[in-house]
Structure 1
């Protein structure tokens, strides 16, 4: 099934929102610039948030091994929610804190269903410590130890490592139509979303999303949704943006994200996340 979350009601004019205690931000297309760097202004904003006692969570579709882009600039903000909510990591200790995997049986069902619904689809798997893919799956970023084999073999190759994501790629499908088709065909077995401009689907366990894992992490800290500010740009951010009490879309966001949010910040190339952090801290002063 596709996850749905109730968007917090708009407060009455006389209502007072609690001061934000946590900022949840996506990375690619949001906090990171297009060249995958972190701007000086953003680095300064992260440090200022730490000094003010406002936690920043990095909530991303990236696997943990791709978090080096922010690891040097996290200030005191060490928690990363990776793989669209399937893994929670401590960046300072490089440690997996929690995993919410996709069951291999559900993954196999999704593979068979998508192959029938959209012929030409190729698959890859993302486990807690590695990425593996089919021969027909283009993966220029693969590591030397990545296995290349039919996905059926990959799904049973390393049961000791939780399966964080199944990836489905098509060479020519329209990305949004591909997503809609997958949800309609196999939505009862997994969660489907996308964060790439290409026809690349990210598939997680039922009920697993950025929002569900962020909610768990916040509950552990006694933080309510009303005390969270979220920033994102792509469909895999929608549940998180709907859950948080205050949500921003960067100016370069996908049309669905722009339609689902009322607050805007500058594009990722113009330090949109830094501007949000600065405004949150200025309101607390």
Structure 2
């Protein structure tokens, strides 16, 4: 593997897929001027940029001023594709079926007593009384997960994008392993938080699988994609992309999945690679 200062440069990429928190965003949740300039330069050079995140569409304001071109973002770990030019309108939804969600809730409660849950719907988030409140979502309903997931008529409720499962005492990676062992045959379970907070999507739904669908619609192959990430929820995307970079601050699983490394998010690691990609593209012209 190359050093963090000299990541490998891919050949003729057509799309850049980047995670946000811990990757594109600095720790203070800002996008640096250098990164803004690099994203704009990539789009100007004809390289599409996809934001691919665990965040819901309504929390995409951190990058809304830096959207160019198509304006699409993959949100909720692949459960939704949003149009950021249209206020985050959801164009594609890959839902977690409610009966499956209830089954996973009960399985994880039994496997890890003390687990509390939140339910991310296409219309917003709701959570159990023991779950820490979301101050960004003051209108959330508070009730037990089974009630939050209940619908009087099948299919009448808003689609479930994902479950959030939180435990106050377990090690985050141990909780992830336990949950995957208990319920991984029914859902895609991952994490992006430094705490014991898991994210549960429908079976086969991940950043990678939705990115693959979006790329197929554009005639873009995995070999033409450059991906960036830092946490377990980025692993499938880092493995799928033809060229991928784990941030210098990444989780060990991201390092293992990526084909290269860059510097940390606070050092503008994504911009560093984009600048090298663009410099490499321009190099053949130097002799003319």
SS at match of 1:165: strand
Residue among 233, 237, 241 paired with 2:238: 241
SS at match of 1:19: coil
Q: Quick check: 1:221 aligned with 2:218?
A: yes
Unaligned runs of 5+ in 1: 1-15
Q: Quick check: 1:115 aligned with 2:109?
A: yes
SS at match of 2:204: coil
Larger mean CA deviation between 55-64 and 252-261 belongs to 252-261
State the partner residue of 1:4.
Answer: none
Residue among 261, 264, 278 paired with 1:281: 278
- Residue by residue over 1:179-208, the C-alpha shift from the partner in whole angstroms, topping out at 9 and shown as x without a partner, is 000000011111100000000000000000
CA distance in 2, matches of 1:17, 1:76: 22
Q: Shift of residue 159 of structure 1?
A: 4.1
SS at match of 2:43: helix
Q: Quick check: 1:151 aligned with 2:145?
A: yes
CA distance in 2, matches of 1:281, 1:17: 10
Superposed counterparts of 1:100-249, under 5 Å: 100-156=94-150, 159-249=156-246
Q: Shift of residue 46 of structure 1?
A: 1.0
CA distance in 1, matches of 2:70, 2:44: 11
Residue among 77, 90, 93 paired with 2:83: 90
Q: Quick check: 1:72 aligned with 2:68?
A: no
Q: Shift of residue 278 of structure 1?
A: 1.1
What is the CA RMSD across the aligned residues, in angstroms? 1.4
State the partner residue of 1:8.
Answer: none
Q: Shift of residue 156 of structure 1?
A: 2.0
- Residue by residue over 1:201-221, the C-alpha shift from the partner in whole angstroms, topping out at 9 and shown as x without a partner, is 000000000000000000000
- Residue by residue over 1:164-189, the C-alpha shift from the partner in whole angstroms, topping out at 9 and shown as x without a partner, is 00010001110000000000001111
SS at match of 1:56: strand
Cα contact 2:10–2:277 (8 A) shared by 1: no
- Residue by residue over 1:8-51, the C-alpha shift from the partner in whole angstroms, topping out at 9 and shown as x without a partner, is xxxxxxxx975100000000000000000000001101111111
SS at match of 1:67: helix
CA distance in 2, matches of 1:214, 1:105: 26
CA distance in 2, matches of 1:194, 1:258: 15
- Residue by residue over 1:107-133, the C-alpha shift from the partner in whole angstroms, topping out at 9 and shown as x without a partner, is 011011100000000000001120100
Q: Could you tell me the TM-score, scaled by structure 2's length?
A: 0.91
CA distance in 1, matches of 2:259, 2:10: 16
- Residue by residue over 1:130-175, the C-alpha shift from the partner in whole angstroms, topping out at 9 and shown as x without a partner, is 0100000012435121100111111125943210000100011100
Cα contact 1:131–1:142 (8 A) shared by 2: no
Unaligned runs of 5+ in 2: 1-8, 283-288
Larger mean CA deviation between 59-68 and 159-168 belongs to 159-168
- Cα distance change on mapping 1:186 and 1:198 into 2, 3 Å: same
State the partner residue of 1:255.
Answer: 252
State the partner residue of 2:6.
Answer: none
Q: Shift of residue 222 of structure 1?
A: 0.3
CA distance in 1, matches of 2:10, 2:192: 30
Q: Could you tell me the TM-score, scaled by structure 1's length?
A: 0.92
Q: Quick check: 1:45 aligned with 2:42?
A: no
